[in-house]
Amino acid sequence: MVLVPLSVAAAPYAAMVMDARNGKVLHAQNADTRLHPASLTKMMTLYVVFEAVQNGEITMDTLVTVSRKAASEEPSKLGLRPGQKIKLRYLVRAAAVKSANDAATAMAEAIEGSEAAFARRMNRTAQAMGMTRTTFKNAHGLTESGHLSTARDMTILGRHVIYDYPQYYNLFSRKTADAGVRQVSHTNSRLLNSYKGADGIKTGYTRAAGFNLVASAERGKERVIATVFGGRSTASRNARVEELLDLGFKKSPAWANNRAPKAPPYLGKGAGAVVVAKTSDPVPGTRAKSIRVASAAVTRSLRPQARPGSVVTPGMVAPIVASVGKDIERELQEIAMVSDTAPSPIPDAAPDPVPEAMVVSAVAPTASIKPVQRPVGVAAAAATLTFKDTPTPARKAEVVTRLSTSGGRHWGINVGRYPSEYAAQKILLQTALAETASLDGASRKVVRGKTGFDANFMGMTRDSAELACRRLQARQITCFMVGPG
C-alpha cells in the first residue's frame, strides 16, 4: 500500500488540452483556477533566459558565480557551492532536464541581479503573453505565498516555448544531459519512453501543488499540448496526461494552418511594466478587447557637456551685438544708394552666383564688404539685348524598365527531395517550426517530380530566401534557392 500525504491528496485538479498549431482549446477543466505551479515555473525562467541570450544580455558561455542563496535552495538541485563558477549552458540543462532549483536561482541572479527582480521580469513577460492569472514570486517554483498560475496560462506558456525558441526546445526531451559538474537525468523519462511522439515539456511537484505536468507530443502534422495540475502521483498523473493527449489527437483535425503565437515584446533590463487596459463591459455576444503597451520609464536625461572654450558670457555677447547692429544699418544705407542708380534688371535673367569669398561670418564681422557694381558698358549692352519668345521643344518621354530579381516574392527554397508526399510535407512542417523567423509568410509546397517529391517554401523575396538558406545550412539542413519561373 502506498501512503499519500493529505496535502497531495487534497491538491485541486485542473486540466487543459490545446492544439498547438493554432491555439484551439480542445478540453478544459478548472483551467482558470489559480493553483501552485511548482516547477512548471521553470518554463518561464528558461524562456526569460533564452530571451536574454538572444538579446545579448548574456551568453551560454558566460561564467555564473553561484551565490550563497542559490546554493542553499531546497532539492531538487544540482549541488552547487557558494562562490562556484559554472557556465550558463550547464545551468540551463540542469533546470530543463533535472529541474534543479539552485540552477534556476543562479540564472535569475546572473541576469537581473536578484531573484526578486527576475521574478518581476517573469511577471512582465507573462502579462505580455496573455497569462492574465499568473503571479511569479521566484524562479524555481517552490511554494511561496502568492506564487500561483492556472492550467490555461501554463499551456499558453508551453506553446510559446515551442514556437518562440525552437532552437532550445530539444532540451526538454533530453533523457540525460551534461550539466558541467555531473550528468543529470530527465524527471519524466517514463512518459518520454512510453508515449509515442512525446518530446517534453516540464514536470512539477510540491506538497501543496501535487504532481503537475505540461506535456507535448507530435504525430505527423499534428501537435497537442496537455496540462495537468494536482495529480496524486507520478504514475497517475502520467496516465491522465496520456489520456488527454489521446483526446487531443482524436479531436484535432489531421490538417490545420500552423499559426504561431505572437512573441511578446522584449521586456529586458530597464523595461517598464506592461499596462493592460481593458474596455468597459462588452456587448453580449462580443469579446472583450485588451491593449498591451510596453512602457519604459525614463529616469533622467543627460545634458551634453559644452566644448572647452565654448562658454559665452554676457560680457562677450554685448560687443558682438553692437558691432553687428552698426554693420546692418550701414549695409541698408548702401543698398538704398545702389538701388537708385542701378539699371532695371533684365527680365527672366538668372541672378549671378554669389562668390564664396563674399560670404561673411555673422558671428563676429570685422568689416562689411561692399558689392562691386557692374561696369556701365556691360550694363548698357545687356539692356539692348532682345530675347525671342520661342518655347523649348518638349523632349520625347522615355520609359525605362528593369526586371526585378529581388523585390518580388517570386523566389523560394528547396529543402530536399523525398520518396513520398507525406515525407516531404513532414519535413516542411518540421523546418517551418524550427525556423519560424526567416520562413514566416512563406508557403509550403510539395512538387512531384520524376524521381521524388520536392519540399519547397515559396512566395519569398530573393533576400529572404538567401537568409533562410544560410540559417538552415547553419543547422546542417540541406537547402538551395529556387528562382523565378
Is-catalytic flag, 196?
no
Cis amide linkage into residue 201, ω under 30° from 0: yes
Position 2, amino acid: V
Cβ–Cβ under 8 Å, residues 78 and 94 = yes
d(C-alpha 29, C-alpha 34), whole Å: 12
Long-range contacts formed by 328-334: CB under 8 A, 24+ apart: 330/368, 331/368, 334/370
Helix (H), strand (E) at residue 458? strand 453-460
The C-alpha cell 490555461 sits at 152
Could you confirm whether 99 is annotated as catalytic?
yes
CA pair distance 357, 69, nearest whole angstrom:
74
Closest CA to 77 of 2, 182, 228, 197: 182
For residue 417, CA distances in Å to 255, 288, 454, 455, 474 come to 22, 47, 4, 6, 19
> Which position among 76, 77, 98, 99 bears the catalytic label?
99
Residue 39 appears among annotated catalytic residues: yes
**Backbone φ and ψ of 294, nearest 5°:** -85, 115
Q: What is the DSSP letter of 218?
A: E
* Nearest-angstrom CA–CA distance, 345 and 339: 11
Residue 156, Cβ neighbours under 10 Å: how many? Answer: 23
Alpha-helical segments (H) within 342-460: 376-384, 421-434, 436-439
Beta strand residue intervals within 38-78, DSSP E: 63-65
Element (H, E) at 25: strand 24-29
**Partners of 219 in the β-ladder:** 222
Q: How far is CA 325 from the centre of its chain?
A: 58
Nine cell digits for residue 205: 511537484
Task: Classify the C-alpha dihedral 337-341-344-345 as positive or negative.
Answer: negative
Q: Are 19 and 49 in contact (CB under 8 A)?
A: no
DSSP string, 127-188: HHHT-TT-B---SS----TT-BB-HHHHHHHHHHHHHH-HHHHGGGG-SEEE-SSSEEE-TT
Cβ pair 241, 191 in contact under 8 A: yes
The residues that are catalytic are 39, 42, 99
